[in-house]
Amino acid sequence: MVRIFKNVYIFKEYITVFLAIVLSSFLLITNENEQIESLQAKIIDFTGKIKQNFAWVKIVFNTIDENRELRERVLYLTLENTSLKDADIENQRLRKMIGFKKSGNLKYLSAVVISKGFHQIINSIQINVGENDGVKKNMPVITEKGLVGKTYLVGKESSLVQMMNDVNFGVSARILRTRATGIVNWKTGDIFEMSNVPKSSDVAVGDTIITSGYSQIYPPKIPVGVVSEVSDSIPGMSKKVVLKIFVDSPSIEEVFVIVSDRKPEFILR
C-alpha cells in the first residue's frame, strides 16, 4: 500500500490532468446547456468528417484490392483463352496433316522441329529424326502445304534441314497450268524468283508452281508457291517471275521427310 501511495504522489500531476479530462468530457456529454450542446454538435461534425475520410481511405484500398483481383482474373482468362486458341489451331493443323498423309501413296516420316537457325552457314531447322529412323542426306522435306527443303546433315537421332530460303537452295519447278519450267531460288526476305523461264512462256499472276520432277532429289508435283509478279522487262530471253511460297518458314512446327523412291501423287490444295 505504501508503494502505491508513493506512486500516486509521484504522478499526482498526470493523474490530476487525466481526471480533469475525464470529468470535462463527462460534463460535456451530460450537460444540456445550449453552448455545451453547440460544442458537442461541432465535435460530432468534426469526428464525423474524420470518420468519413477514414471510410473513403478504406474504400480506396478496397477498390485497389478488387482491381488487382480483377486484373489477375483477366490475366488468367486471357492466358486460358490463348491456350484454347493455340490448342484449336494445333488440332486443325494436325487434322490437315493426317488428311495429307492419307491423300498420297508416298512413304514418309513425320518429324517435329526442335530448333531453328542451328547451323551458322545455311538457313536451317533441326528435326527429331535421323539415321535410326531411315533418314538420309538429300531427302525432301515437306509439310501439308508444300515444299520446305531437304535434309542436309543427318545424325543418328536428329537431322538438319536446308530451307528454301537459303541462298544456296534451288529446285527445278514448273507452272501447273502451262507446264513452263524454271529454277526457283530465294532472293531476299520473303521474295523468291523462278529463273530461266522463257519470255514466250505463258505465265500469269496466281499460277501455281510445283516441282517439275527433273531433279534427282525432289519428286514431281510437290506444291512450291504461287506467282505474285510477272515481268518481261528484264534483259535477255527470260521472264522475271516472282512467287510467294506456300510454306511460312517461321511458323513450321511439324514436317514430313519423304523416304520413298516411289513417284508420289500429291493432292494440291
**pLDDT value, residue 169:** 93
For 17-32, how does the pLDDT look when each residue is reduced to its tens digit (9 = 90+)? Answer: 565 565 556 555 555 5
Cα 42 from chain centre: 64
Element (H, E) at 172: strand 170-175
Same fold, 107-163 and 170-246: yes
Cα 131 from chain centre: 32
Q: What is the mean pLDDT of each run of 10 residues along the chain (269 residues)?
A: 51 55 56 59 60 58 68 61 60 62 68 80 89 93 91 92 92 92 92 92 93 88 93 85 91 87 42
Neighbours of 259 (CB within 10 A): 17
The full 3-state SS of the chain, as one line of letters, equals: CHHHHHHHHHCHHHHHHHHHHHHHHHHHHHCCCHHHHHHHHHHHHHHHHHHHHHHHHHHHHHHHHHHHHHHHHHHHHHHHHHHHHHHHHHHHHHHHHHHHHHHCCCCEEEEEEEEECCCCCCCEEEECCCHHHCCCCCCEEECCCCEEEEEEEECCCCEEEEECCCCCCEEEEEECCCCCEEEEEEEECCEEEEECCECCCCCCCCCEEEECCCCCCCCCCCEEEEEEEEECCCCCCECEEEEEECCCHHHCCEEEEECCCCCCCCCCC
Q: Where are the domains of the chain?
A: 107-163, 170-246
d(CA 42, CA 36): 10
CATH of 170-246, one of 2.40.50.100, 1.10.3720.10, 2.60.40.1190, 2.40.10.350: 2.40.10.350
Query: What backbone torsions phi and psi does residue 255 show, to the nearest 5 degrees?
Result: -140, 175
Q: Which parts of 15-168 are beta strand (E)?
A: 108-116, 124-127, 140-142, 147-154, 159-163
Q: How close are the terminal C-alpha atoms of the chain, in Å? A: 106
CATH topology of domain 107-163: Thrombin, subunit H (2.40.10)
**pLDDT value, residue 266:** 41
**pLDDT value, residue 253:** 87
Contact status, residue 164 vs residue 150, Cβ threshold 8 Å: no
Q: Model-level pTM greater than 0.85?
A: no
